[in-house]
Structure 1
Amino acid sequence: MKLALKRIHTYFYQYSVGFFFILFWPVLYLLKKRPWLYKYINKIRQFIALISSAISGIFYRATFEQPIDWSRTYVICPNHTSNLDVSAISTNLRNNHCFMGKAELLDHFVLRYFFTTIDITVNRESKMSSFRAFKLASEKLKDGVSVVIFPEATIPDAYPPVLHSFKNGPFRLAIEMKVPIIPVTSMDTWKVLWDTGKEFGSRPGICDIFVHKPIETAHLTLDDADALRDEVYAIIKKKLPQA
């Protein structure tokens, strides 16, 4: 019975997201035709994430290791355990940003809109697709748009989730573009909704993320990419047991 209620909660949350997306569709449609106004799409996404979560009893709370200068551009690297990670991170960023995600998300009713406007899709099985995605990410950074990349490239299959090894892409990108990288630890979103919620459902609760201090990359070269990757991995891994 408890599992059945948790699955009902997942459907309620998902339909809430869909409802508010449709409610804002006229505005989103107009913005899609005007790329110079794309930054406002983020504002609407943040509102949809907050209100659809709140009426489902889900709330997001961020702790910052130190104040962030949001006038700067960053590569943001969180671990990934839940579909709620995007909402938890998006609602706590105070600058214009985009997400990089797998191409399969284009099949999602809501996410397709964002991945055909402000976000970046990548087919990780294709080297050409990866090249194009990171080229676009470089252009975004040049334009002052921060890029959020999940370095695990997937949500772990294990439950409870275990931190997977990190891909090199986001760290090479940060070094090439000479922008700081911000590690973000998703502490317990998986306890509220693991993965998509299809298997174990979801429940009301607070999702905590910890935003670590930025790591400067201006002094680094591409030869340092592995070391930077390992440094960010160690930071997040050390923080996770405190959840």
Structure 2
Amino acid sequence: MGFFANLFKYVLVPYWTTIALLYILSWTLPPNLRRLPSYFARLASAFGCLALAALYGLGAALCLRLVGMEGLTQWTTAKCFKILMILSTGVHVEVVEGAEYLATRPAVYIGNHQSELDILFLGGFFPKWCSVTAKRSLKYTPILGQFMWASKTLFIDRANSKTARAAFDSAAHEMKTDRHSVFIFPEGTRSYYDHPDLLPFKKGAFHLAIQAQVPVVPVVCNNYSDVLCMTGGWKKWKFQRGTLKIRVLRPVSTKGLDKDSVDEIVKGVRDDMLRVIKEMSPEAEKKTG
């Protein structure tokens, strides 16, 4: 009991008090001076919400595992994080088109990868019976790593192609037998773009979909650099209220395809996603001419 009391007294109270003071500062300063206090307040809130959601998810994973429903863990945790973020940062997420495709199961869901705020992007649409993939090093992150391990996250060692292939083989088998879906960011890293664009796609998600003979479901979030900007130095940093908008595209079948079809399907899906993100982000598109 002493550990939790000290955690509350010496960590949680000072942490959230600091956030509250930053918010108060951002509200009381002149408009031209509010940006940085608001940025740090929301950024700290987001990380705090992530820790709280991971704790909730760890408990949910243990409870759901007892009744054989651990496949719902990441779905319920994503919803929890979404609610916490709305309350603490004022950032909302809205599926504006294609929500009916989220019932596709099993499938390989893919999405564009912009920044750390993509965790909230996942919270806005994450389907039931689905797990994310993550780099293996995250497995050892306190709280978050334990939650991810308990909730059937597919850990990938990018430096070891042999173990990565083994992980995908295991995932393909589980997708077939348990009808469990997987979410992957095919860009492989955050782009931090201030305009609607995509990095080149890695092929792992598409190899997995073809191996398991399940559809690829592309999910596109608008460019939200007007809500969060973490690059360009402190003069450009900002984190403000806003709405992330999501479009779920029609599932792309992989039935009857083999590895020789990967390049073609990668190009087709990326082209579709790029077209949609530009349609969804007209203001950001104007910034680049």
TM-score interval (norm. to shorter): 0.7 to 0.9
CA offset digits 1:97-130 (Å, max 9, x no partner): 0011112323433431332122111121211231
Query: Distance between the aligned counterparts of 2:263 and 2:67, measured in 1?
Result: 35
Q: CA deviation at 1:206?
A: 0.7
Give the TM-score taking structure 1 as reference length: 0.86
Structure 2: any 5+ residue segments left out of the alignment? 1-32, 282-289
Aligned partners of 2:215, 2:195: CA distance in 1, in Å?
31
Relative contact order higher in (CA < 8 Å, ≥ 6 apart): 1
Q: RMSD in angstroms over aligned alpha carbons?
A: 2.7
Q: Look up the SS of the partner of 2:210 in the other structure.
A: helix
1:167 is aligned to 202
Residue 145 of structure 1 is matched in structure 2 by 180
Partners of 2:239 and 2:143 in 1: CA distance: 19
Instruction: Give the 3 Å change call, closer, same or farther, for CA 26–176 of structure 1 in structure 2.
Output: closer
Show structure 1 runs of 5+ residues with no match: none
Select the structure that is richer in helix. Answer: 2
Q: Which of 1 and 2 has greater Rg? A: 2
How much does 1:174 deviate? 0.9
Task: Give the alignment partner of residue 182 of structure 1, picking from 217, 241, 244.
Answer: 217
How many angstroms does 1:57 deviate by? 0.6
Which whole-Å CA distance do the structure 2 matches of 1:194 and 1:65 have between them? 27
How far apart, in 1, do the equivalents of 2:117 and 2:224 lie?
A: 6
Q: TM-score if structure 2 supplies the norm length?
A: 0.73
Moved more, 145-154 or 12-21: 12-21
Tell me which moved more, 122-131 or 41-50.
41-50
For 1:222, the equivalent position in structure 2 comes to 259
1:1-243 matches, cutoff 5 A: 1=33, 2-22=35-55, 24=56, 27-28=59-60, 30-31=62-63, 34=66, 36-55=68-87, 56-65=89-98, 67-68=100-101, 70=103, 72-117=105-150, 118-142=152-176, 143-156=178-191, 159-160=194-195, 162-194=197-229, 200-242=237-279, 243=281
**Runs in 1 of length 4+ with deviation above 6 angstroms?**
none
* 1:181 and 1:217 in contact (8 A); partners too: yes
**8 Å contact 2:105–2:180 — kept in the other structure?**
no
2:197, 2:277 within 8 Å by CA — same for their partners in 1?
A: no
Q: Distance in 2 between matches of 1:194 and 1:145?
A: 34
Distance 1:121 1:31, change over 3 A: same
